[in-house]
Amino acid sequence: MPEVVGRFAPSPTGPLHTGSLVAAVGSWLAAKQAGGRWLLRIDNLDRPRCRPEFEDDILRTLERFGLEWDGPISRQSDHGEAYAAAFGRLRELGTVYPCGCSRAEIARLASAPHPGEEVPYPGTCRNGLAPGRTARAWRVRTAGVTVHFDDLRHGTIVTDLGATGDFVVKRVEGFFAYQLAVVVDDWLTGVNQVVRGDDLLDSTPRQVLLHQLLDWPLPHYGHLPLVTAPDGGKLSKRDNPVSLAAGLAPGQESKLLAWALRFLGRKPPALLEGTPCRELLAWACGEGS
């Protein structure tokens, strides 16, 4: 069996919060319990919102919680040529096409309202741009495509991608979309285990399709339950930050880590209460149940 290679891929658009701590701990445990490596990638695709001080804070925060990564840090900002090569391959295969629709136009064309959800693309430009229209993006054809994958927590998932619509992989401004970028990122760094939050579960079938189109090995996926805000919604970067820069009091790391382990179904014994984070992680990795 190949060595397990997991990863954690935060975006430096703000401090880590309790939800991202759970994702980091869960992905670290999944890789380490399998005797594998845990990589760190900085997902800085959203250049206008990413800031170096947030990246530095994320690194220091992970270190404070004893979450040490293996090997050098990778960054999406260094992968532009690989994204372009993968996109070029998709064009050669004829699986992508230019689209001239704006988000507002797609919303108007939707057959039914989709409150709080992404509106499925109706395929307006699938057979060619209308006269006088210019491309705004490039989309992957999904009509008639059904994707299957096994999730470490949810089991087998089957998705009709045709129903969710053709999705964007590149904007005409030259920006590559998240769906393509993370697939290339994982392939470049040899990641074969992707453990992350349930908020990304809907993205996974699209990424599975891209792996298949590019003829790349498919990682094992696992999606963790989400830590939600008091109103039940998704946490923002402003909610429950876990870094000194965002106001976390020194010495609270062990307490927060124990909470994260309990959230993930681990119950540290009372004798470990208040122990250093590395000891808690060693227990969870070797003896936790």
Residue 166 CB-density burial (10 A; 0-12 exposed, 13-18 middle, 19+ buried): buried
- Which of 75, 79, 82 shows the shortest CA–CA distance to 39? 75
Binding-site residue numbers for ATP are: 237
Q: Which run of H or E residues covers position 58?
A: helix 52-64
Binding-site residue numbers for Zn(2+) are: 99, 101, 121, 125
Give the pair of three-digit tokens for residue 250.
């020194």
| Cβ atoms of residues 54 and 44 within 8 Å | no
Give the pair of three-digit tokens for residue 269.
């014994």
Task: Give yes or no: 32 in active site.
Answer: no
CA angle 150, 152, 158 (to 5 degrees): 25
Binding-site residue numbers are: 7-11, 43, 99, 101, 121, 125, 178, 196, 237
| Three-class SS of 143-193 | CCCEEEEEECCCEEEEEEHHHHCCEEEEECCCCECHHHHHHHHHHHHCCCE
Spell out the residues 6+ positions from residue 275 whose beta carbon is closer than 8 angstroms to its own.
254
Tokens 């590395």 identify what position?
A: 278
Binding-site residue numbers for L-glutamate are: 7-11, 43, 178, 196
* Active-site choice (32, 170, 234, 237): 237
Positions marked active-site: 237
